[in-house]
């Protein structure tokens, strides 16, 4: 346990500035182009539904399970009062979760705590696996968790650092695109049950306000995350 703890809190040296730039470009390409985004968007959905689940637990709602679907959508099932602060906070947490997770990961990366970050991601995936309620969701979590575990066990420290930085940038950039997609669907009236529209029914504020709030948090996270990751 002493060796594991020492490994967990080990501080890695600062990355090469070129690695930081390349990792940002790779993550931006994953988010910006259609095919890579379609293949990787499920990771953002995991963070999104994880945000709902964590907030439901924090507000003492009964968490009944999580479903992840092959079209990269997902749903978190909770039970409790259909209105009130707990329901509002649970609905709010989804779209901001990837960005806030990315910001927290950027802080750990800037501090050189790469091992702590990767083990934290693995723990998060294991906890979600215990709550998953469909076969596809379990499969995608097992594949993702297996890849993270392989990274821990077999990849050298430099590779772990590079992959962690790509993941941080991906969370930061990937937190923005689903909000843009949400607003496009709302304009076409194709998202009547979206988080923003559920919040509008729960509160006196319109759905557009919550889309703006989601985007403000996402963009602020990109700015502060980029500041933390700035090699200069």
**Nearest 5°: phi and psi at 77?**
-95, 120
Percent of the chain with pLDDT over 90: 79
Categorize the per-residue pLDDT at 14 as very low, low, confident or very high, splitting at 50, 70 and 90. confident
User: What mean pLDDT comes out for the span 58-75?
Assistant: 91
**Nearest 5°: phi and psi at 11?**
-100, 120
User: What mean pLDDT comes out for the span 85-99?
Assistant: 95
Own/partner pairs, 145-154, CB within 8 angstroms, 24+ separation: 148/118, 148/121, 148/122, 149/122, 151/118, 152/115, 152/118, 152/119, 152/122
Say if residues 15 and 162 touch (Cβ distance below 8 Å). Answer: yes
Q: Is the pLDDT of residue 35 over 90?
A: yes
Q: What angle do CA 188, 193, 199 make, to 5 degrees?
A: 110
Q: Is the pLDDT of residue 83 over 90?
A: no
Percent of the chain with pLDDT over 70: 100
**pLDDT tens sequence across 176-228:** 999 999 999 988 888 788 999 999 999 989 999 999 999 999 999 999 999 99
* Closest residue by Cα to residue 125 from 112, 111, 114, 139: 139
* Closest residue by Cα to residue 104 from 214, 224, 22: 224
State the pTM of this model: 0.94
Handedness of CA 199, 225, 220, 187 (dihedral sign): negative
Which ranges constitute the DSSP H helices of 71-156? 85-110, 114-131, 135-154
Say if residues 73 and 66 touch (Cβ distance below 8 Å). Answer: no
**pLDDT tens sequence across 105-139:** 999 999 989 999 999 999 999 999 999 999 999 99
Cα distance between residue 78 and residue 207, in whole Å: 21
Query: Can you give the pLDDT at residue 7?
Result: 75
């Amino acid at each position: 346990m002493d060796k594991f703890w020492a490994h967990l809190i080990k501080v890695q040296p600062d990355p090469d500035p070129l690695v930081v730039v390349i990792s940002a470009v790779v993550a931006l390409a994953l988010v910006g182009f259609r095919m890579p985004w379609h293949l990787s968007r499920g990771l953002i959905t995991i963070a999104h539904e994880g945000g709902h689940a964590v907030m439901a637990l924090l507000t003492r709602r009964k968490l009944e399970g999580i479903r992840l679907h092959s079209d990269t959508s997902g749903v978190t099932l909770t039970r409790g009062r259909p209105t009130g602060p707990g329901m509002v906070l649970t609905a709010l947490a989804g779209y901001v979760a990837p960005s806030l997770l990315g910001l927290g990961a950027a802080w750990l990366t800037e501090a050189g705590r790469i091992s702590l970050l990767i083990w934290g991601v693995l723990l998060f995936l294991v906890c979600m696996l215990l709550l998953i309620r469909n076969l596809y969701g379990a499969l995608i979590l097992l594949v993702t968790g297996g890849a993270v575990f392989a990274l821990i066990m077999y990849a050298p420290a430099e590779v772990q650092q590079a992959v962690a930085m790509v993941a941080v940038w991906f969370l930061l950039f990937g937190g923005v695109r689903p909000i843009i997609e949400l607003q496009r669907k709302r304009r076409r009236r194709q998202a009547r049950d979206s988080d923003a529209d559920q919040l509008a029914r729960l509160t006196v504020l319109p759905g557009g306000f919550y889309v703006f709030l989601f985007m403000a948090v996402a963009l602020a996270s990109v700015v502060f995350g980029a500041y933390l990751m700035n090699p200069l």
